[in-house]
């Protein structure tokens, strides 16, 4: 059978070359396959005929059966219009046509049964319909059921192509094929009770019932997600099989001594589990690529350190990269502090590291005496050469691009193991799709004794009261964050309001020191101001979201977020994660205007009702769509989905993943005859995608 992808859309009855061009340009439809996979966005209910006397509102489209009683032509030429009285015996309505009036007048006759489909309107209490669809009874019964309403563009509408036109074309394409072959293996379709492809395509364009539609949608969503999962798994299996990694077979002196003598607390079970997962990975002889997701404060740093110690025990060097100088410095201080007792050699390399220190680092890296190098992008500069780099930790993944990851690989003959850590919790199903070829570990437990941050919403008028509260907290020795929305390029108004906010705070607390940071400052100045707050020389930090990522000031107990309605949920959660790091009860205050939209209030109420980053991420994704999730991918998802929705189809993603694993376990290259059509479909889906390469 000819593949539907190979059939040009122009040969579908009624389309032709001109319209085919327009369809390609406007909707990207080239083949019959594309046409049949241009799914309706909603449906018109043509399943039951209504009585005219029962319809009283303007809302939906309705179907009436009856006769025209009379026709009347009004006006002249271009201004002429045709009106008709239509009755079904229960009541009557007026039908009006403004276009093609002569043609229509000759088309319909009084006294013959017609079915009228349109949207009723009311004028002076009388029902009217403008340009309804009129069909003879037999035509109408062929169309009964739910008819698809298709996404269109203005250009297509202007060219006289309506949703009904697309519907007719889809029907024409379907009736030209007796049975559309199913690309999914028969065993899978039967095993999962999926609707076969042929039936699903017929149903999706013209479902007879809601139940049939649901089954068709499920099948088509599954198919779409299944190709992605098969593709990702095939790639990751190939990569894992092919890419040699260093084998770290033992846990030795460094790890054990650190564990027994320096560990300041006992690990949570989640931390232990992730370390075990990494240990298993690095012992396979294949290169590890693992993503660790852990909510803010879940203790990723300790996990990273212990993993790096395993590498060092096996004669390798390790490297930890952070997105900013402040973060790199903090990691450096934490890790140096923790390991000083055992004499581990740890160094910091950032843009502001002096030449003399750089030379020392270069020498120690080359001879292998430097165990852990911590730094910013500076560590991936070409000049930096390791003797034996075996393990790389990347903190806050989304600030590092793929190109930078690749650059790290070139630093040793065998690709080092890579552990990517992110505090942006990504719902599992999204991670499965976006990071399909990374293995994912989750630290789903916070260290014991953390008090959940108390979060409240307050209005601008309540500022006096809030200031009193801040004062009390500072008298207890605590520090305060005050966060303003990010300043966009050249946004003078926002910059002004930030500066005013800063001045107001200075005035309200004349005896306290206030640090001030925003993204448009010079890095040196920024670091200086942040330093004031980190070292508790300042009590208050007024800042934009530059503080979002990773700063650790356990003594800070209050975070005020100004214009909270302007932030996304995930971002609010990241921000809130800056407090609640010490033993004290911490607070987060979301400031808004009194008048905010209902959805905004609902969104903010999620913040006041939970501290669980995963719950928040799921809610965020449901409300805003997966492309908007911060930190997953800067420019949206790496593929388009026609029907599935990553936010709401989690269960189907899981089912697709499980099925993909099973099929590849049995037939890794999809070479069995029964799997050949699937292989072809996966390859075609892959080449139809814009840019898969981003998820390397
Ligand atoms: P994040 O995952 O956000 O990077 P950190 O690694 O900065 O979190 O850890 C947050 C705080 O929790 C640090 O002060 C760290 O010392 C502490 N911590 C980490 N693990 C534990 C644990 N198992 N028990 C108690 N405190 C811990
Ligand atoms: Mg961290």
Atom in ligand 1 nearest the alpha carbon of residue 449: 25
Residue 411 vs residue 545, higher pLDDT: 545
pLDDT digit string, tens, across residues 564-600 = 998 888 788 888 988 988 778 999 999 999 888 888 8
Atom in ligand 1 nearest the alpha carbon of residue 304: 6
Alpha-carbon torsion (292, 329, 518, 634), positive or negative: negative
Length of the chain: 696
Whole-angstrom distance, CA of residue 501 vs CA of residue 27: 48
The domain defined by 454-610 folds into Rossmann fold (3.40.50)
553 lines ligand 1 (CB under 6 A): no
Which residue, 377, 398, 316, is CA-closest to 574? 398
Whole-angstrom distance, CA of residue 505 vs CA of residue 516: 11
pLDDT digit string, tens, across residues 5-46 = 889 999 999 999 999 999 999 999 999 999 999 999 888 888
When pLDDT is cut at 50, 70 and 90, the band that residue 337 belongs to is very high
| Residue of the CA atom closest to atom 1 of ligand 1 | 297
Q: In the structure encoding, which two tokens stand for residue 422, read together?
A: 């992110």
pLDDT digit string, tens, across residues 102-131 = 888 888 988 899 999 988 888 888 899 998
Atom in ligand 1 nearest the alpha carbon of residue 266: 23
When pLDDT is cut at 50, 70 and 90, the band that residue 439 belongs to is confident
Strand spans (E) along 354-428:
372-375, 389-395, 417-422
* pTM listed for this prediction: 0.64
677 lines ligand 1 (CB under 6 A): no
What mean pLDDT comes out for the span 132-148?
A: 81
When pLDDT is cut at 50, 70 and 90, the band that residue 614 belongs to is confident
Q: Half-sphere exposure of 26 toward its Cβ, with a 13 Å CA cutoff? A: 20
Q: What's the pLDDT score for residue 584?
A: 83
Collapse the DSSP code of 480 into the 3-class scheme (helix H, G, I; strand E, B; otherwise coil) and give the result.
strand
- Selected from 3.10.590.10, 3.20.20.70, 2.40.50.140, 3.40.190.10, the CATH number assigned to the domain covering 48-144 reads 2.40.50.140
Q: In the structure encoding, which two tokens stand for residue 48, read together?
A: 């039951």
Contact 47, 146 (CB under 8 A): yes
What mean pLDDT comes out for the span 528-547?
A: 88
| Residue of the CA atom closest to atom 5 of ligand 1 | 299
Which ligand is located closest to the Cα atom of residue 552?
1
Q: What's the pLDDT score for residue 185?
A: 95
Q: In the structure encoding, which two tokens stand for residue 114, read together?
A: 């017609």
| DSSP state at residue 364 | H
- Site to probe by mutation for ligand 1, drawn from 275, 323, 447 as the one with most ligand atoms within 8 Å of Cβ, is 447
Superfamily of domain 253-443: P-loop containing nucleotide triphosphate hydrolases (3.40.50.300)
Kindly state the percentage of the chain with pLDDT values over 90.
51
| DSSP state at residue 31 | B
294 lines ligand 1 (CB under 6 A): yes
Which residue, 424, 369, 392, is CA-closest to 321? 392
When pLDDT is cut at 50, 70 and 90, the band that residue 426 belongs to is low
pLDDT digit string, tens, across residues 348-393 = 999 889 999 999 999 999 999 999 999 988 887 777 889 999 999 9
For residue 510, pLDDT over 90 is answered with yes
Ligand 2 center to residue 321 CA distance, Å?
Answer: 11
Which ligand is located closest to the Cα atom of residue 268?
1
Alpha helices in 243-286 (DSSP H): 253-261, 269-282
| Residue of the CA atom closest to atom 14 of ligand 1 | 581
425 lines ligand 1 (CB under 6 A): no
Domain chopping of the chain, boundaries: 1-43+146-178, 48-144, 179-242+649-687, 253-443, 454-610
Atom in ligand 1 nearest the alpha carbon of residue 581: 11
423 lines ligand 1 (CB under 6 A): yes
| DSSP state at residue 315 | T
Which residue, 106, 66, 108, is CA-closest to 86? 66
Output the CA–CA distances (angstroms, integers) from residue 310 to 257, 335, 390, 392, 494, in the order listed. Answer: 12, 15, 10, 12, 48
Contact 112, 67 (CB under 8 A): yes
Give the max Cα distance, the chain: 101
Ligand 1 center to residue 563 CA distance, Å?
Answer: 30
Q: CATH topology of 253-443 equal to that of 454-610?
A: yes
Other C-beta atoms lying within 10 Å of the C-beta of residue 88 = 18
Q: Give the DSSP per-residue string, 170-185.
A: HHHHHHT-S-PPPSS-
For residue 639, pLDDT over 80 is answered with no
| Residue of the CA atom closest to atom 26 of ligand 1 | 447
What mean pLDDT comes out for the span 324-339?
A: 89
582 lines ligand 1 (CB under 6 A): no
Q: In the structure encoding, which two tokens stand for residue 231, read together?
A: 């593709």
- Site to probe by mutation for ligand 1, drawn from 259, 269, 297, 339 as the one with most ligand atoms within 8 Å of Cβ, is 297
| DSSP state at residue 384 | -
pLDDT digit string, tens, across residues 452-489 = 899 999 998 899 999 999 999 999 999 999 999 876 65
Cα torsion for 196, 202, 208, 214, to the nearest 10°?
50
375 lines ligand 1 (CB under 6 A): no
| DSSP state at residue 630 | T
Ligand 2 center to residue 386 CA distance, Å?
Answer: 25
Which ligand is located closest to the Cα atom of residue 337?
1
Output the CA–CA distances (angstroms, integers) from residue 152 to 22, 41, 162, 431, in the order listed. Answer: 11, 10, 8, 32
The domain defined by 1-43+146-178 folds into DNA polymerase; domain 1 (1.10.150)
Q: What's the pLDDT score for residue 548?
A: 56
Output the CA–CA distances (angstroms, integers) from residue 212 to 200, 206, 582, in the order listed. Answer: 9, 10, 55
302 lines ligand 1 (CB under 6 A): yes
337 lines ligand 1 (CB under 6 A): no
What mean pLDDT comes out for the span 248-263?
A: 95
Atom in ligand 1 nearest the alpha carbon of residue 552: 7
What mean pLDDT comes out for the span 621-647?
A: 59
**Tokens 């209050």 belong to residue:** 558
């Amino acid at each position: 059978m000819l593949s539907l992808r190979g059939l040009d859309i122009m040969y579908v009855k009624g389309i032709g070359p001109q319209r085919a061009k327009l369809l390609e340009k406007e909707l990207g439809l080239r083949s019959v396959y594309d046409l049949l996979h241009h799914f309706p966005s909603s449906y018109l209910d043509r399943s039951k005929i209504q009585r005219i006397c029962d319809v009283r509102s303007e809302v939906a489209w309705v179907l009436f059966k009856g006769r025209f009683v009379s026709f009347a032509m009004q006006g002249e030429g271009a201004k002429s219009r045709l009106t008709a009285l239509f009755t079904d015996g229960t009541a009557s309505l007026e039908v009006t046509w403004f276009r093609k009036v002569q043609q229509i007048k000759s088309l319909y006759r009084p006294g013959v049964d017609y079915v009228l489909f349109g949207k009723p309107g009311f004028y002076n209490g009388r029902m009217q319909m403008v340009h309804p669809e009129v069909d003879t009874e037999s035509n109408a019964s062929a169309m009964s059921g739910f008819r698809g309403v298709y996404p269109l563009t203005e250009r297509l509408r202007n060219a006289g192509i309506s949703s009904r036109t697309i519907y007719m074309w889809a029907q024409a394409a379907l009736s030209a094929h007796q049975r559309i072959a199913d690309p999914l293996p028969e065993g899978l379709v039967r095993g999962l009770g999926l609707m076969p492809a042929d039936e699903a395509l017929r149903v999706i364009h013209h479902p007879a019932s809601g139940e049939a539609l649901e089954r068709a949608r499920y099948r088509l969503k599954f198919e779409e997600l299944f190709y992605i999962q098969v593709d990702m798994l095939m790639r990751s299996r190939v990569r894992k099989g092919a890419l040699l990694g260093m084998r770290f077979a033992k846990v030795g002196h460094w790890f054990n001594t650190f564990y027994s003598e320096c560990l300041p607390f006992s690990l949570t079970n989640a931390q232990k589990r992730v370390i075990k997962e990494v240990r298993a990975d690095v012992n396979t002889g294949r290169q590890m690529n693992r993503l660790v997701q852990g909510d803010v404060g879940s203790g990723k740093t300790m996990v990273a350190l212990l993993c790096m110690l395993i590498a060092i025990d096996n004669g390798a060097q390790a490297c930890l990269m952070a997105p900013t100088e402040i973060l790199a410095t903090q990691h450096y201080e934490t890790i140096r502090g923790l390991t000083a007792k055992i004499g581990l050699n740890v160094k910091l390399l950032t843009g502001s590291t002096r030449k003399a220190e750089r030379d020392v680092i270069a020498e120690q890296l080359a001879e292998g005496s430097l165990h852990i190098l911590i730094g910013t992008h500076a560590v991936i500069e070409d000049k930096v050469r390791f003797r034996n780099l075996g393990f790389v930790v990347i903190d806050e993944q989304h600030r590092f691009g793929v190109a930078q990851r690749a650059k790290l690989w070139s630093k040793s003959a065998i690709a080092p193991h890579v552990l990517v850590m992110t505090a942006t919790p990504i719902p599992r199903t999204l991670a499965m799709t976006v990071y399909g070829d990374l293995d994912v570990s989750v630290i789903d437990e916070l260290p014991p004794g953390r008090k959940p941050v108390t979060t409240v919403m307050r209005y601008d008028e309540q500022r006096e009261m809030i200031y009193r509260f801040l004062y009390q907290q500072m008298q207890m020795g605590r520090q305060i964050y005050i966060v303003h929305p990010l300043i966009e390029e050249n946004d003078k108004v926002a910059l002004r309001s930030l500066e005013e906010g800063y001045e107001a705070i200075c005035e309200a607390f004349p005896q306290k020191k206030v640090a001030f940071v925003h993204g448009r400052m010079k890095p040196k100045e920024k670091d200086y101001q942040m330093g004031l707050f980190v070292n508790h020389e300042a009590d208050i930090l007024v800042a934009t979201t530059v503080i979002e990522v990773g700063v650790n000031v356990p003594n800070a107990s209050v975070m005020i977020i100004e214009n909270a309605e302007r932030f996304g949920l995930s971002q609010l959660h990241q921000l809130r994660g800056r407090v609640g790091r010490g033993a004290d009860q911490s607070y987060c205050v979301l400031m808004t205007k009194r008048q905010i939209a209902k959805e905004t209030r609902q969104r903010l109420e999620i913040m006041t009702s939970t501290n669980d980053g995963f719950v928040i991420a799921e809610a965020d994704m449901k409300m805003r769509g997966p492309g908007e999730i911060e930190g997953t991918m800067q420019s949206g998802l790496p593929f388009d989905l026609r029907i599935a929705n990553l936010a709401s189809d989690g269960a189907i993603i899981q089912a697709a993943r499980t099925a993909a694993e099973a099929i590849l376990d049995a037939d890794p290259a999809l070479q069995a005859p029964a799997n050949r059509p699937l292989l072809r479909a996966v390859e075609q889906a892959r080449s139809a995608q814009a840019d898969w390469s981003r998820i390397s």
